[in-house]
Amino acid sequence: MTDGDRGGAPPDGLRVPRDEGPGDPFDDALALANEGRGTVAADAGAGGGATGGRPVPGGEHPASGGDRPGAGGDRVVGRGERAEGIPSGADASAAAPRRGPADLPWHTARRIAARAVSGPPGPTTTALGEALGRTLAEPLTALTDLPSFDTSAMDGWAVSGPGPWRLDRPADDAATGAHPGILAGHAPTEALLDGHAVPIATGARVPAGATAVLRREHGEVRELAGGGRRLYAPRLAPPGQDIRPRGQECRRGDQLLAAGVLVTPAVLGLAAAAGYDELTAYPRPRAEVLVLGDELLDSGLPQDGRIRDALGPMLVPWLHALGVEAPAPRHLADDADTLYEALARSTADVVITTGGTASGPVDHVHPTLRRLGAEVLVDGVAVRPGHPMLLARLAPRRHLVGLPGNPLAAVSGLCTLAEPLLRTLAARRPVEPYRAPLAAAVHGHPQDVRLVPVVYRDDERHGLTAEPLRFHGPAMLRGIAAADALAVVPPGGADPGTELELLELPWSAGWAPGSSAAGPAAGAPYGFSGGAE
């Protein structure tokens, strides 16, 4: 199935229940996405666009069956969009405010985002250091035995047979006058004779004939009257003691890690140890952040009704933490043509816009998507904050995630739509939902999921719990900045002790930082130097 296939409109007349059944296929989810509020572009244009196929302020939405042309593959547009030809902003007063019940269920929206692309682009082979944060496209197979030779695990003496031992001096030490013995990195030495010992360092090759390594602190060297030295041990040195035999960890050709594993710092270390100079992995997705809003300042204190841009400084490093390449954010004026140009020219896999998703006079995202002929996959999600978030396909493998301007609403959109899409693009496995009981009650929205910042607490009486934080309003970042995770609070709220799904934040979850290749300096927004909130 191609990406284009996946994005087509649902078969005509398909109706799916709102709750999530097991195995709910993508098409069903997409049908749900468009049920009752999507209409095709041509239809919207002909019908005036103001109300066709989208919810109206009173809460009802027009019946979806009658006004929808039947052919599958029609481009679906979301509610609140204007028909082609109507200037952006011209019908702002008639634009429908966002309403909860028509929004997609939160889990469904995440699934649509995850499946908006069929998979990652083809893998590439890069130098080891460039692979951090990428996903292995091939199994990591040992290119050598590990260890690749019998290795001393301790500083001391390699001994042969039961003691006491006559102490040898390795041939290559003779010239130096020092007696360090066999050091790590040395070429093989001559075989050790039965009843002999030779000094050896941790990591050095154990000579042929050695039966054990005796730790330095366990042996005593005595000078013999007739010259020479003898090594005594108060205890036995059983065969194999403190020798790491060749191939103990793996044999050449053993599979060390499966394809699909995230390249973490530890994976880089293992790959290097196993002989790799390069790794074949899926490329990092490339994102571009467009910050919309004439009211935004990129430095200094808020003044004259203008406020600091909180999203540019937050989103780019957040994307880096998700293993995504993203240059410094671009700040665009509230102008429809500017946004159109930026979207039309962008070559990023995912363009992330902030602001302009609602129905205000300068909210240009929806009209611009229509102008571009984009296919809207998600247009509003039943989640608070952030419900006006959207996902659109600009081209078969290029998408736009529209984040609402309120900063915590933007975080919600990032976690709900951008993260699953980027995860698929990066070939990262979905994370198993993590759950913990709530330490305190959380109020719920009547219909929508709420995402509430929480910190983990661990005490003897309650074990690990998630404690909800204050300052979780849509415009506030004070809670999320202190949080370990976002709790997924079901409609109606949750009592203390209720186990809730938790979305871990990329710096507290298993995401590897992905910024090294992108260059943190390049992504440093505006030379950002401190928090304004």
Ligand X SMILES: Nc1nc2c(c(=O)[nH]1)N[C@H]1C(S)=C(S)[C@@H](COP(=O)(O)OP(=O)(O)OC[C@H]3O[C@@H](n4cnc5c(N)ncnc54)[C@H](O)[C@@H]3O)O[C@H]1N2
Question: Which of the listed partners (ligand MOO, ligand X, none) does 329 bind, with a CB threshold of 5 to 8 Å by partner kind?
Answer: none
**CA 402 to CA 358: how far, in whole Å?**
10
H helix or E strand, kind and range, residue 344: helix 336-345
CA distances (Å), 148 to each of 123, 143, 275, 439, in order? 30, 10, 10, 51
**Applying CB under 6 A, does 102 fall inside the site for ligand X?**
no
Decide whether 26 or 526 has the Cβ nearer to ligand X: 526
H helix or E strand, kind and range, residue 436: strand 434-437
The binder of ligand X chosen from 98, 107, 366, 423 (CB under 6 A): 98
Using the 8-state DSSP alphabet, how is residue 488 labeled?
E
Decide whether 128 or 524 has the Cβ nearer to ligand X: 524
**Applying CB under 6 A, does 406 fall inside the site for ligand MOO?**
yes
* Span near ligand X by CB under 6 A; candidates 43-51, 118-126, 247-255, 348-356: 348-356
Question: Which of the listed partners (ligand MOO, ligand X, none) does 405 bind, with a CB threshold of 5 to 8 Å by partner kind?
Answer: ligand X
Contacts of 5 (CB under 8 A, 6+ apart): none
Residues constituting the chain: 533
Q: Go through 317-331 and write b for each residue having 16 or more CB atoms within 10 A of its CB, e for each that does not.
A: bbbbbbbbbbbbbeb
Question: Which of the listed partners (ligand X, ligand MOO, none) does 372 bind, with a CB threshold of 5 to 8 Å by partner kind?
Answer: none
Decide whether 107 or 387 has the Cβ nearer to ligand MOO: 387
The binder of ligand MOO chosen from 409, 449, 494, 502 (CB under 6 A): 409
Contact 388, 404 (CB under 8 A): yes
**CA 196 to CA 114: how far, in whole Å?**
65
Decide whether 45 or 313 has the Cβ nearer to ligand X: 313
Question: Which of the listed partners (ligand X, ligand MOO, none) does 101 bind, with a CB threshold of 5 to 8 Å by partner kind?
Answer: none
The site string for ligand MOO over 452-481 (x = CB under 6 A, - otherwise) reads ----------------------x-------
Question: Which of the listed partners (ligand MOO, ligand X, none) does 285 bind, with a CB threshold of 5 to 8 Å by partner kind?
Answer: none
Rounded-to-10 torsion of CA 488, 490, 493, 496: -60
Which residues partner with 226 through β-bridges?
A: none
Question: Which of the listed partners (ligand MOO, ligand X, none) does 36 bind, with a CB threshold of 5 to 8 Å by partner kind?
Answer: none
CA distances (Å), 121 to each of 137, 198, 424, 519, in order? 11, 56, 10, 22
Give least dist CB 352 to ligand MOO, A. Answer: 16
Strands 255-257 and 196-200: unpaired
**CA 19 to CA 132: how far, in whole Å?**
39
Question: Which of the listed partners (ligand X, ligand MOO, none) does 358 bind, with a CB threshold of 5 to 8 Å by partner kind?
Answer: ligand X
CA distances (Å), 358 to each of 7, 218, 258, in order? 23, 75, 44
Give least dist CB 68 to ligand MOO, A. Answer: 28
Quick count: other Cβ atoms within 10 Å of Cβ 356?
A: 27
The site string for ligand X over 382-401 (x = CB under 6 A, - otherwise) reads ---x-xx-------------
**Applying CB under 6 A, does 407 fall inside the site for ligand X?**
yes
Using the 8-state DSSP alphabet, how is residue 338 labeled?
H
**Applying CB under 6 A, does 293 fall inside the site for ligand X?**
yes
**CA 45 to CA 47: how far, in whole Å?**
5
The binder of ligand X chosen from 161, 209, 474, 513 (CB under 6 A): 474
**Closest CB to ligand MOO: residue number:** 474
**Applying CB under 6 A, does 404 fall inside the site for ligand MOO?**
yes
Contact 279, 125 (CB under 8 A): yes
Question: Which of the listed partners (ligand MOO, ligand X, none) does 453 bind, with a CB threshold of 5 to 8 Å by partner kind?
Answer: none
* Span near ligand MOO by CB under 6 A; candidates 197-205, 253-261, 383-391, 459-467: 383-391
**Applying CB under 6 A, does 357 fall inside the site for ligand MOO?**
no
Q: How many residues in the shown chain lie near ligand X by CB under 6 A?
A: 27
> Which residues of the shown chain bind ligand X in the complex (CB under 6 A)?
97-98, 291, 293, 295-296, 307, 309-311, 354-360, 363, 385, 387-388, 404-407, 409, 474
> Which residues of the shown chain bind ligand MOO in the complex (CB under 6 A)?
384-388, 404, 406, 409, 474
